[in-house]
Amino acid sequence: MSQVVTRIAPSPTGFMHIGTARTALFNWLYARGRNGKFYIRIEDTDRKRSTIEATDVILNGLKWLGLDYDGDIISQFERAPRHIEIAETLLEQGKAYKCFSSPEEIQKFKNIAQESGESTLFKSPWRNTDPSQHPDSPYVIRIKAPETGETTIIDEVQGKIIIKNKQIDDMVLLRSDGSPVYMLAVVVDDHDMGVTHVIRGDDHLNNAARQNLIYEAMEWNIPIYAHIPLIHGEDGKKMSKRHGATSIEEYEQNGYPASGVRNYLTRLGWSHGDEEYFTDQQALEWFNLNNIGKSAARFDFKKLQFLSGQHIKNSENAALLHETLKFLEKHNKTSLSEEKIKLLSSGLYCLKDRAKTISELIDKAHFILTSRPIQMSSDANSSLDKEALEMLGILTPHLHNATWTREELEQICNSVAERHGVKFGKLASPIRAALSGQTKTPSVFDMMLVLGRNETIARLNNVQV
């Protein structure tokens, strides 16, 4: 088979829906897993909505998700002359015709058809007229759809769909102002781009029948279709803001790691046995069209969080550090000193374990990101009572001579607690407060190890004055 070519063809609406992101991901996986090409075509014929900013939202979403594309970004609007050329070719070949019926005449046709209980699909009186009889008035160009027989769509997900040609009207190709319609533009663009597989939302399934008419009239190869069911919320209704974040940007802002979102979205509506967690490499190897589900997938935030946590845990430290620093800069508007970056890097081992998002990881890293004097939360402050301060007073001198291994730190802390007749937890709370100003942190030993002797002692001394 020839090289696989897929594309994502978003309309710039000002935000990138999670469903568009998943469609892009499926197309990307399908192409990249087969050494194919993946293109972006911006369907920007609606000039009011098609701003540079709206296109940037889509490109940023794809970039964040890690979906690289081939060639230049294609603008559908800029290709209008080519769409017009094809409509004119079909006209010359007698496969399309000029229709001079006014909107009022069309409405009248429909009203009469409705009253007499017949099909309201418009049948133009101009379909078979001789050009010599044509008036000098505005016209549209319509395709001559077959009047009998059936149109079959073979879909990799939906199976075989048969539509009676009686149900398909002579669709307009060029409007009376000479502008091409969307349906024509899609087909011409997909053909010219060499698209072999059209993987898109099943809200476009009906369009496929009408698009096939254009392919057939031009004697072009029809691409392989895979219409994927839309994403639903947990209640089984179409995913909307009511269910949670619908734009890919929000997932980025909420700190989900791109790898976790990729894994989750791949799994959303596609399966490989019972596998839930997989790497990009596995997804590229395994992804196919056969295992896309036929019914709508339900968005499950818990699963997304679980998978995101797994991806954070399994990240290489260098990549995780990079992603965390980027997040801090972009969303927390913070850039760290060299010294803090080093500390963060050495602390990742204890931060990545149970963080479901990069923002959670950053919260856990508070003891690293903060500096003396440590600001105390009121909860943390309440653990620093008289007895606690006494214990810290005993503990601190012992730390001066410690070798700073986990074993030795544990031993010192345990013996101070024991001598004081308290459980270790009683001592851990004030240490935690002194080192971080918070009550929820990695273990006190991890914090001590990451901060090092001098900083630990300085923070412990700070709360004792």
- As measured in angstroms, the least distance from the Cβ of 200 to ligand GLU is 4
Q: Do residues 392 and 461 lie in contact, with contact meaning Cβ atoms separated by under 8 Å?
A: no
**Listed ranges 5-13, 24-32, 376-384, 439-447: which one lies at the site for ligand GLU (CB under 6 A):** 5-13
Q: Which of 38, 42, 40, 39 is nearest to 11 (CA)?
A: 42
Q: Does 459 bind ligand GLU (CB under 6 A)?
A: no
- As measured in angstroms, the least distance from the Cβ of 96 to ligand GLU is 21
**Closer of 43 and 455 to ligand GLU (Cβ):** 43
Say which residues have a Cβ less than 8 Å from residue 326's Cβ, sequence separation at least 6: none
Pick out residues in 199-258 that bind ligand GLU (CB under 6 A).
200, 204
Letter for the amino acid at 160? K
**Closer of 26 and 287 to ligand GLU (Cβ):** 26
Burial class (CB in 10 A: 0-12, 13-18, 19+), 19: buried
Residue from 4, 22, 28, 43 binding ligand GLU (CB under 6 A): 43
- As measured in angstroms, the least distance from the Cβ of 57 to ligand GLU is 13
- As measured in angstroms, the least distance from the Cβ of 41 to ligand GLU is 8
Please give the residue whose beta carbon sits closest to ligand GLU in the complex: 200
**Listed ranges 6-14, 111-119, 161-169, 364-372: which one lies at the site for ligand GLU (CB under 6 A):** 6-14
Q: Does 9 bind ligand GLU (CB under 6 A)?
A: yes
Question: Where in 292-375 does DSSP place strands (E)?
Answer: 297-298
- As measured in angstroms, the least distance from the Cβ of 10 to ligand GLU is 5
First-to-last alpha carbon distance for the chain, in angstroms, is 77
What is the bridge-based pairing of β-strands 74-75 and 150-155?
A: unpaired
**Closer of 97 and 270 to ligand GLU (Cβ):** 270
**Listed ranges 7-15, 95-103, 279-287, 402-410: which one lies at the site for ligand GLU (CB under 6 A):** 7-15
CA distance readout (Å), 294 to 231, 260, 352, 436: 12, 24, 36, 50
Q: Which residue is associated with the tokens 């998700």?
A: 65
Q: Which of 413, 408, 403, 421 is nearest to 460 (CA)?
A: 413
Q: Which residue is associated with the tokens 């990101």?
A: 369
Burial class (CB in 10 A: 0-12, 13-18, 19+), 28: buried
Size of site (CB under 6 A) for ligand GLU = 7
**Closer of 43 and 155 to ligand GLU (Cβ):** 43
Pick out residues in 182-201 that bind ligand GLU (CB under 6 A).
186, 200
Residue 377 to residue 202: CA distance in whole angstroms: 51
**Listed ranges 9-17, 99-107, 250-258, 401-409: which one lies at the site for ligand GLU (CB under 6 A):** 9-17
Catalytic residues: 241
DSSP state of 50: -
Tokens of 368: 């690293």
**Listed ranges 3-11, 83-91, 106-114, 287-295: which one lies at the site for ligand GLU (CB under 6 A):** 3-11
DSSP state of 78: G
What is the bridge-based pairing of β-strands 140-143 and 96-99?
A: antiparallel
Q: Does 19 bind ligand GLU (CB under 6 A)?
A: no
Tokens of 423: 């459980």
- As measured in angstroms, the least distance from the Cβ of 304 to ligand GLU is 23
- As measured in angstroms, the least distance from the Cβ of 207 to ligand GLU is 7
Contact residues toward ligand GLU (CB under 6 A) are 9-11, 43, 186, 200, 204
